[in-house]
Amino acid sequence: MIEPREAEDLVLIALNKPVGIVSTTEDGERDNIVDFVNHSKRVFPIGRLDKDSQGLIFLTNHGDLVNKILRAGNDHEKEYLVTVDKPITDEFIRGMGAGVPILGTVTKKCKVKKGSTVCLPHYPGAGAEPSDSSHVRALWLRSEKAGTYAHYERQLKRHSAG
């Protein structure tokens, strides 16, 4: 159970985190998300995005809410839309879903679903540079539980290289 808060005390921010910002609250970390948002109240990111990733992340000053969402025991699924600049074959999808060897271990299995070619804005440095700048191929990655987070970006890069 999460205790309700007075509306005027609650801070909930939806941020399109740009590339280069670190999803941490550590003061010593250069380009951290808290300094970037620069809110008058202490806020915490709900989850994380890698420094070289761009996307939606929520921040709040409600610590109980953060803990409830992120606690692995709550079995929340995580889903990612990944764009790539090469064809997505059935073999590629099977390989990603089975796990990929990285740094002496194999990443957790995940559900992988091929999307269609979609029209998305592309931001320099935000990922794959498609040959047609207005269209990229989409790939959905979903972990079964938040506690089984696999390093999908490294997994995708490693599997794409092979």
Q: Which residues are catalytic?
A: 50
DSSP string, the chain: -PPP--TTT--EEEEEEPTT-B----TTSTTBHHHHH--SS--EEES---TT--EEEEEES-HHHHHHHH-GGG---EEEEEEESS---HHHHHHHHH--EETTEEPPP-EEEEEEEEE----TTSS---SSTTEEEEEEEEESSGGG---HHHHHHHHHH-
C-alpha 135/C-alpha 59 separation (Å) is 30
The token pair that represents 36 in the structure block: 């970037």
Other Cβ atoms less than 10 A from the Cβ of 96: the count is 25
